[in-house]
Structure 1
Amino acid sequence: MAEEEDYSSLPLTDRWVHKVWKVRKQAYEEAAKIFEKTPDEYDPAFRPFTQDPSLWKAAAADSNVAAQQEGLAALCAFLKFGGRDGAVRARQQAVTPIVEKCLSSTRAATKASAVEALLLFVEVDVPGPVIEDILPALSNKQPKVVAASLAALTQIYHNYGCKTADPKPVLKILPKVFGHADKNVRAEATNLAVEFYRWLREAMKPMFWNDLKPTQQNDLEAQFEKVKAEGPPKQERLLRSQQEAQERAPAAGDGEGAYDDGEGDAEEPGEIDAFDLAEPQDVVGKIPKDFYDNLGSSKWKERKEALEALYALVNVPRIKDADFGEINRSLAKCMKDANIAVVTQAAQCIEMLAKGLRKGYAKYRSIVMQPILERLKEKKQTVADALGAALDAVFLSTDLSECLEDITAFLVHKNPQVKEGTMKFLVRCLRTTRDVPSKPEIAGMVESAKKLLSESSEALRSGGAEILGTIMKIIGERAMAAHLEGLDDIRKAKVKEFFETAEVKAKDKPKPPPPAARAPPPKKVMGGGMKKAPAGVKKPAAAAPASPTEPAPAPAPTQAQPPRAGPGSKLGVPKPGLGGLKAPQKRNLAAPGLSSPRRPAPEPAPSVEEEPPTSPVASKPAPRVGLGRGGLAARSLAKPAAPSVPAAPPSPTSTSGLTHLERAELEELRAANERLLRQLEESRHERSKLHSEIQELKNQNASLIEDHTRDVLSIKAKETQLVRARSDAEAAEQTNERLRRELDRLKRALAKAEAFNAGTGPGSPGSPNLGFRTMSPTHDDAGIFRDGGMPASANRNRMSFASTFSEEKENGDNMMPHPLSKVTPDLRYAGSAASSGRGSPARGYRRDVATDDSQPRTVDSHADRSGSRAGSRAGGRTADASSNVPSSGMESWKRAAEVTSQLKARIEQMKVCSLHCHLTSAT
């Protein structure tokens, strides 16, 4: 007990964070009682918790469940009786511990207090920060925390509604919680989705519906069917700001009624839609690079596929605003496409763009509306429906005034199908518009509808009557009666039928004008009364004697004014009447006593016709005397009977005179107004024509630019092809020239080879010497001969040539220049080096010929060396010369013949190949 006494002596904030849970529990209970007894939110009891909001974090996260329960109760009392500043500071510290520790508690009282604390946090300020602090708990590892958080969100939206609490942050994460492994989490997600459906209806589906499984969609649809039978939901708890607004209202009942009505109107299905909930999506950046190329393709399938790809991009609830001018111009061009599938797809793309941009699409209306209206000539119903839906979507982004010029122009189109489609579009516009058209616009639509009543087609006649009936529903029967003059009873009855069945959204605004029309007459009456009132007020004493003296003042002015009545009429000429007002004033004021002796005389002879001329004279001076000449007015009070008596009877005549003048001025103003209205209408028509011409010129300019771009590209492509062709032609000419030179060489080589073959036959032993003599004139004709009767040098040359040819044939050398080199004398000797040994006498000859073919002493030395070497070899073999000479001679002749035939065949092949190459290059 001693410890308890010590604890109670501690300050409340110290006991709040004490290590003993009983002490903390008692501190929580004491704080709740203190908060309930405070007179207002400015009480000093709230100050410690406002200055140190971390105390609420400790209370919400208390380790003892009993103390935690009392801590949440103290928090609820603090939020209920405290101010907004303390609650906002406590929210930053307490919401997260409440969500993580208290919502999933096993104690029912703790759960209820936690939910109530969250609702109070929302009530004190706004629901947005509280929802943001709850959302991270949906990713918690413990399923019970996730389920409890979803239940708390359901309670927030159920009590405050989706108009007060923004549903978009929660709708984005609904697919994630629907895919949770725990069934309790999925059940709470279903409850939250049903609560959203109570407020949002079908507008919530585009946010998450496609991410759900089919079974989940079916389950939710079954739950939604139960909610559809209920009425529109209403906000059950109000924010502090809403409560203060109701308290400021004149009456609590009126304020509540106004609030409920406002909520009821706000929660209609048409008020909250997918556009308000969705986030804007970028479409321009996702358009394929080849979109415009495919859209301009000559194949309708490629054009349709390009439009289908665009439709998939723009088919979103909300589109981010960007430059869609080029896309809309391309879609408007598609309205003229010969394929109806392309036209239908383009119309659907326009519809999605208009719905996704809403008011942002108004600047593109002039680009697409006229092409769509022109395409209404299509008789196929599916195409007409797509075009009508596109027109309706475009109209929702603008208003009737902007679209009326195009509609009126196409109502007189030569194609009846276009007329009918435009007429139906105008009826839909009149039904959906919320703004009452102006009088000139109504007059224009009525005239167009009257023209439709005389059409030969029944559909057009009914459409004209429907337009008139819908307009009558908007402006009322009384205002429409003037427009229906001249129609027969049958047509009027038809218009009345459509009037009774028409449904419009525009409010009837012609009702305010009647009070405005009544206002001017009272002003005139009040003005006339005010002119008379000052005279009567300033002369109160004359009011009593005025009755017996009423006939007396009448003759005085009649006698004084007859001479003025003759020169000019007072009704027709205002200036003389106004100028003549001053003379009677002076006369009446200068001689006031003249009227008294004349009173008895004119009593029997007063006439009503004489009084009107006196009325303006008597009425006009009164205000001038009373206002501008106070002294004279004081003198006239001595005998007030004269001015006061005519004041009463002539007042209607004076007002009638003023109305005549005003009527004349009014007629002039009306005529001027009509002229101005006509000029305005003419200028509008001219403006519309100029706009249409400008639009046509823009379209033509765009098409010309596209055509010019294509022509330039085609010209560049052809120039590139021409350059390539020229280069190929030059290369072919060079190849042809080279082959021609090669052919000439081959011909010369063939001639030489044939001459050589003709001189080396077995029957002409002396011809080799001639050939060698031609090639090497310094060669010794009498050299050393072998036993076969042939010179040794010729035999060696033939052997060298044959061995070189055989080696090249074995190596696969079939190149064109090699046979030519073998045929020419210089190269023939040079080519024999490969077959000659080191001791071959031809080596010296070839080496000398390679250096200088024009030196004869090289040949002589070669001949001497070859002759000496041949002689030494012949001397060394004298023993068996008789037996070897005949056989070696025959073999050399045969070998020479074989070499010659092979060379000739190869030359023929080379000639054929060269001719073939020449022909192919020439072609």
Structure 2
Amino acid sequence: MAEGEEDFSSLPFSERFAHKNWKVRKGGYEDAKQQFEKTPDESDPIFAEFLQDPGMWKGAVTDSNVAAQQDGLASYCAFLKYAGPAACVRTRGHTVGGIAEKGLPSTRPAAKASALEALLLCVELDKSGPVIDEIIPVLSHKVPKVVAAALTGLTAIYHNFGCKIVDPKVVLKALPKVFGHADKNVRAEAQNLTVELYRWLKEAMKPLFWGELKPVQQQDLEKLFEAVKQEPPPKQERLTITQQAEADAGSGSGPGAETGEGDGGEEEYAEDDDGEAEILDLADPVDVFPKIPNDFSEQLGSSKWKDRKEALDALYSALNVPKIKDGQFDEIVRGLAKCMKDANVAVVTLAANCVDLLAKGIRNGFIKYRATVMSPIMERLKEKKQTVADALGQALDAVFIATSLADCLEETLEFVKHKNPQVKQETVKFLIRCLRTTREVPSKPDIKSIAEAATKLLTDSSETNRAGGAEILGTLMKIMGERAMTPFFDGLDDIRKTKIKEYFETAEVKAKDRPKPIVGPPKTASAPAAKKAVGSKKPLGMKKPAAAAASPPVQELAPSPSKPATKSIPSKLGGLSKPGGLPTPGGALKKRLGGPGGVASPQRRVISPPSEEQPQQAPVSKFGLGRGLAGRPIARPSAPSEPAPAPVPAAPAVSGLAAMERAELEELRLEKERFVRLAEDLKYERTKLNSQVTELQNQNAQLIEDHTRDVLSIKAKETQLVRARSDAEAAEQNVQKQQREIERLKRELSRALRSGALNSPTSIPDQFSMAIPDPASIYQDQGSNGPMSRSGLHMGPRFESTRPRSYASASPSEEKENGLESPGLSRRKFSPTFGNAHPGLASPTRSSMFGSGSASGEEQSARSAEPAENWKRAAEVTSQLKARIEQMKARQGLTRPPAQR
């Protein structure tokens, strides 16, 4: 230090960080960083001051002096690395916003790199949500350079951790705003961020923001997306601290760890996270019921295929959303299942597409509808048209993704035995797709069922099915391993085994059965095993997990005299060890029994052999005497024996501690087997109940269909009955009308019979016009059965004017038939003008008929002057008319004819 300058190194960090002199602040940042790097673990006292006053870091990361800010950011990165998750949780609320606003836009590359590393460490040590929430408001900053830098930071976060760790929903909703920014650099960084998100999400990201972009922006992005589509799927480059702990636990310790059998950590995690993030994690659920037509069921049951297709089109438009809010879709699903039997392939294809959208939209909520639609879809796989088969297969895949392999397996294996070759072939393809995409390892009973069905396919008559059986076995071997599948290959020839081996080598699966680690004898832990943070670009420098820091102290047990101390062996029991050479509690035994760090198993102490100078003491249980694993002593003191002349390396394998561990392990294994058997029994019961429910649902559907058919039949019969009643009433009215007409005719006929004018031979000339009916009218009355006049006789012109012409006259052929061909009885003599020659016959009045007062004197004198032949002719006419009347009566059954009298 130069002379005359004051020494500020003795001041506390809180004063140095807030000093008005930038050089003092810069020195404080550098000094803090150096001390952080020398700390043994997170519990070092140096971190306490900064954890108690986290606001100190706000000024450090946003220092007004760029040189001091650079060191302040570097010091904050060191603090996060060595102080652990608690440092991130306490300070990120004070620092992330300032780093995004003033650290990322820094002109110094070192400061910019430290700012970006600080953000990544905040995500790595805890979770990403609070970090993203602090960066999003910076996107509205008025300075374009700050907005562009914040977008760059977001791009780096998603590039390192992916969309599985960092939720992209909030960022996707903010993209349209930055795409509309006036600065071209901001728009360019927005494009970079969008392309990075597309690497992880693909087309799943578009529904959230794509419609708000301009067409030109969409075209530019599509060009950039084309290049991304050719790239391999992205993988997470940095793991969070939780994933690092899981990777360390997955790497294992013991015999398997030395041979590399358990080393899977980062590679396995990356494999599990391959693929796109599901769209359900991004979109908000949508209530689709208001969009479905109210008459959907009626249209779906229409006899016209166009109506059914229109109903399914409307349903497809309603279901075509990223995420569907769960509801009562029972009626809709039953209608879609019924459409699988439709004769129109367009209706079947649309119904399959609707099932696909519904299953993808509600996912886990579709489990209760699986049994309703799965069997009808598989039955329809007999359709040979490729477009229909593809739609049905896509619907089955969506149903499988929404449920699980165990749920779909029973029905799938039944259709593998189907008598239709097309159905069998498509079902085999579906089963292969299920095995490739499932993330759950099948249970042993399921494996046996699948292997037996596939083995039968190897002898199928179709080459496609034989190849499908071999592919099923090869894919199953990829999941379970060669050793687990060996019993199922007994009896197969070498050709089939070679074929299965080929499919095994090329199969790509997402679920793999991990063999259980072999439990070995415990080893003495003397030197801590150094562990590197998996997946991190820089080591975090943490000496132990946070869970291990609060573990109880290690108890020591005096060694047996027969087992002298040997040289220290690196421990493979524990994880990250404490200073002093003692292993961290919760090591390999807990990992074998319950998972990472012993979280899932009862807590036990790891006892290491003490040195020879320590006195022997009895083991004391922290929890006292009691039942359970935690209440029993870990080991018993062995009986003294003669010391061995030379150290035996294998001595710990036969110690009392190892025996007790093996006994407890066997007990836990037996308990696990019991639980597995219980789970299998419950699964069998569930499968049985599901099959019963399915059968009852089918019966219910059949009963509903029968009931509907019966109701329609009853309605048709009722309609016919109503029509028959109406016809009967009309017929009855007609009959009554005819009866009334008959009664009227009878009355008219009786009046005619009572009239004595026809039977009286006297006064013929005076009563001629009254007693002689019109021959034409008589003929018409007999021929047409129409109504007669009141007396049955011709009533003159007034009566003829109200009747049809056919009643008033007869044709010459009719007159000849009736015997009226006499020259003196032509038609004109019986016309209304007949009264000119015979006035008495044409008079319309009663007085004129009897030749009383209305006739003039000239007429009376003319009548007396007629010659005698007129009377003869009148007498002949009268006799003919009487005979004619008698014939008419005889025809009507009123009197017997003269021959029978």
Provide the TM-score with structure 2 as the length reference: 0.50
> What is the one-letter code of the residue matched to 1:186?
R
More off after superposition, 295-304 vs 305-314: 295-304
Matches within 5 A, 1:319-398: 319-398=324-403
Q: 1:228 to 1:342 in 2, by over 3 A?
A: closer
More off after superposition, 106-115 vs 126-135: 106-115
Quote the offset at 1:710 in angstroms.
Answer: 9.6
Q: Is residue 441 from structure 1 mapped to residue 449 from structure 2 by the alignment?
A: yes
Distance 2:693 2:230 in 1: 51
| Residues 564-610 of structure 1: CA deviation (Å, up to 9, x unaligned) | xxxxxxxxxxxxxxxxxxxxxxxxxxxxxxxxxxxxxxxxxxxxxxx
| Residues 241-300 of structure 1: CA deviation (Å, up to 9, x unaligned) | 555666776579969963331243134237x44345555444446534343343334443
Distance 2:711 2:304 in 1: 20
Question: Do the aligned residues in 2 keep the contact of 1:15 with 1:27 (CA within 8 Å)?
Answer: yes
| Residues 55-106 of structure 1: CA deviation (Å, up to 9, x unaligned) | 2223334444444444334433433443543442221112222222332234
Quote the offset at 1:149 in angstroms.
Answer: 0.7
Q: Who is 1:694 aligned against?
A: 696
Q: Is residue 135 from structure 1 mapped to residue 140 from structure 2 by the alignment?
A: no
Matches within 5 A, 1:795-874: none
Question: Do the aligned residues in 1 keep the contact of 2:349 with 2:388 (CA within 8 Å)?
Answer: yes
Q: Who is 1:169 aligned against?
A: 170
Distance 2:189 2:25 in 1: 34
Question: Do the aligned residues in 1 keep the contact of 2:372 with 2:694 (CA within 8 Å)?
Answer: no
Distance 2:79 2:99 in 1: 15
Larger radius of gyration: 1
> What is the one-letter code of the residue matched to 1:268?
D
Distance 1:424 1:179 in 2: 47
| Residues 795-845 of structure 1: CA deviation (Å, up to 9, x unaligned) | xxxxxxxxxxxxxxxxxxxxxxxxxxxxxxxxxxxxxxxxxxxxxxxxxxx
Question: Do the aligned residues in 1 keep the contact of 2:18 with 2:25 (CA within 8 Å)?
Answer: yes
Quote the offset at 1:419 in angstroms.
Answer: 5.4
Quote the offset at 1:493 in angstroms.
Answer: 6.5
Matches within 5 A, 1:878-889: none
Unaligned runs of 5+ in 1: 454-459, 516-679, 718-923
More off after superposition, 250-259 vs 261-270: 250-259
More off after superposition, 208-217 vs 694-703: 208-217
Quote the offset at 1:351 in angstroms.
Answer: 1.6
> What is the one-letter code of the residue matched to 2:700?
K
Q: Who is 1:268 aligned against?
A: 274
Q: Is residue 292 from structure 1 mapped to residue 297 from structure 2 by the alignment?
A: yes
Q: 1:32 to 1:294 in 2, by over 3 A?
A: same
Q: 463, 469, 486: which one pairs with 1:467?
A: 469
Q: Who is 2:312 aligned against?
A: 307
Distance 2:409 2:143 in 1: 62
Question: Do the aligned residues in 2 keep the contact of 1:446 with 1:483 (CA within 8 Å)?
Answer: no
Question: Do the aligned residues in 2 keep the contact of 1:40 with 1:81 (CA within 8 Å)?
Answer: yes
Question: Do the aligned residues in 2 keep the contact of 1:171 with 1:207 (CA within 8 Å)?
Answer: yes
Matches within 5 A, 1:55-454: 55-200=56-201, 204-205=205-206, 207-209=208-210, 211-224=212-225, 226-227=227-228, 233-241=234-242, 250=253, 258-269=264-275, 272-284=277-289, 286-399=291-404, 402-403=407-408, 405-407=410-412, 410=415, 418=423, 421-422=426-427, 425=430, 435=442, 438=446, 441-442=449-450, 445=453, 449=457, 453=461
Quote the offset at 1:350 in angstroms.
Answer: 0.8
Question: Do the aligned residues in 2 keep the contact of 1:99 with 1:137 (CA within 8 Å)?
Answer: yes
Matches within 5 A, 1:556-567: none
> What is the one-letter code of the residue matched to 2:702?
Q
Distance 1:84 1:430 in 2: 39
| Residues 114-137 of structure 1: CA deviation (Å, up to 9, x unaligned) | 223323333433333212211221
Matches within 5 A, 1:592-603: none
Q: 1:687 to 1:71 in 2, by over 3 A?
A: closer
Distance 2:29 2:514 in 1: 64
What is the aligned-residue identity percentage? 53
- Aligned with 1:323: secondary structure? coil
> What is the one-letter code of the residue matched to 1:391?
L
Q: 1:46 to 1:498 in 2, by over 3 A?
A: closer
Distance 1:408 1:280 in 2: 34
- Aligned with 2:95: secondary structure? helix
Q: 1:243 to 1:341 in 2, by over 3 A?
A: closer
More off after superposition, 704-713 vs 14-23: 704-713
Question: Do the aligned residues in 2 keep the contact of 1:401 with 1:437 (CA within 8 Å)?
Answer: no
Q: Who is 2:678 aligned against?
A: none
More off after superposition, 259-268 vs 469-478: 469-478
Distance 2:258 2:26 in 1: 41
| Residues 539-583 of structure 1: CA deviation (Å, up to 9, x unaligned) | xxxxxxxxxxxxxxxxxxxxxxxxxxxxxxxxxxxxxxxxxxxxx
Matches within 5 A, 1:320-719: 320-399=325-404, 402-403=407-408, 405-407=410-412, 410=415, 418=423, 421-422=426-427, 425=430, 435=442, 438=446, 441-442=449-450, 445=453, 449=457, 453=461, 460=462, 462-463=464-465, 466-467=468-469, 470-471=472-473, 474=476, 479=487, 500=502, 693-703=695-705
Aligned residues between the structures: 538
Q: 1:25 to 1:696 in 2, by over 3 A?
A: closer
Distance 1:240 1:408 in 2: 43
Question: Do the aligned residues in 1 keep the contact of 2:272 with 2:510 (CA within 8 Å)?
Answer: no
Quote the offset at 1:345 in angstroms.
Answer: 0.6
| Residues 213-257 of structure 1: CA deviation (Å, up to 9, x unaligned) | 454444444444555665555544454455566677657996996
Distance 2:240 2:155 in 1: 17
Distance 1:402 1:40 in 2: 49
> What is the one-letter code of the residue matched to 2:59?
A
Distance 1:180 1:442 in 2: 57
| Residues 839-879 of structure 1: CA deviation (Å, up to 9, x unaligned) | xxxxxxxxxxxxxxxxxxxxxxxxxxxxxxxxxxxxxxxxx
> What is the one-letter code of the residue matched to 1:51?
Q
Question: Do the aligned residues in 2 keep the contact of 1:331 with 1:346 (CA within 8 Å)?
Answer: yes
Distance 2:141 2:23 in 1: 31
Distance 2:403 2:167 in 1: 28
| Residues 441-483 of structure 1: CA deviation (Å, up to 9, x unaligned) | 3586369748953xxxxxx564356436644764689655667
Matches within 5 A, 1:6-21: 12-21=13-22
> What is the one-letter code of the residue matched to 2:129?
G
Q: 1:236 to 1:709 in 2, by over 3 A?
A: same
Q: Who is 1:878 aligned against?
A: none
Unaligned runs of 5+ in 2: 519-681, 720-901
Distance 2:332 2:386 in 1: 26
Distance 1:39 1:424 in 2: 57
Q: Is residue 47 from structure 1 mapped to residue 52 from structure 2 by the alignment?
A: no
- Aligned with 2:114: secondary structure? helix
Question: Do the aligned residues in 2 keep the contact of 1:122 with 1:130 (CA within 8 Å)?
Answer: yes
Question: Do the aligned residues in 2 keep the contact of 1:201 with 1:269 (CA within 8 Å)?
Answer: no
Distance 1:210 1:21 in 2: 50
| Residues 881-902 of structure 1: CA deviation (Å, up to 9, x unaligned) | xxxxxxxxxxxxxxxxxxxxxx
Task: Kindly report the root-mean-square deviation, in angstroms, between the aligned alpha carbons of the 2 structures.
Answer: 4.9
Q: 1:76 to 1:498 in 2, by over 3 A?
A: closer
Q: Which has the higher helix share?
A: 1
Q: 1:687 to 1:241 in 2, by over 3 A?
A: closer
Quote the offset at 1:16 in angstroms.
Answer: 3.4
